[in-house]
Structure 1
């Protein structure tokens, strides 16, 4: 065992422990943000379904396709957008 560097292992272990704690907290935050998005989405779907906000259906139908950037997302939402246009 070296007289120099013995504390280096302890310090490295402390760093590793702190990084692990940081990653756990980041995961918790990511889960919280994802849950918030899901709940907000559910709220807006309910508002669209019940037509409880004047103009929301038209606004969504007119703007959702432009908001989406990925072609796969556009295809996924195409039917919903058409349905909103027909209901609005």
Structure 2
């Protein structure tokens, strides 16, 4: 797997030293946006609620506290272990 860093400047370089032209950079940016969108569309409501709490709270313990105090039926009574399993799953998505 090769990870390509796509900076804003006119020249880009991969980890292998290959220059990318602007069309390739734009295609990579568009693909990144599409993958993000597809990932969010395929996520369940519970995962999205947990993800939202993680965005608001960088500290996972605070995010769990927010989730555990939430009255949403999807989150009500969620155990800490279940929450962290979901966090691990969301992290695996990238």
Q: Which has the higher helix share?
A: 1
Which has the larger Rg? Answer: 1
Fold similarity call, TM over 0.5? no
The TM-score with structure 1 as length reference comes to: 0.38
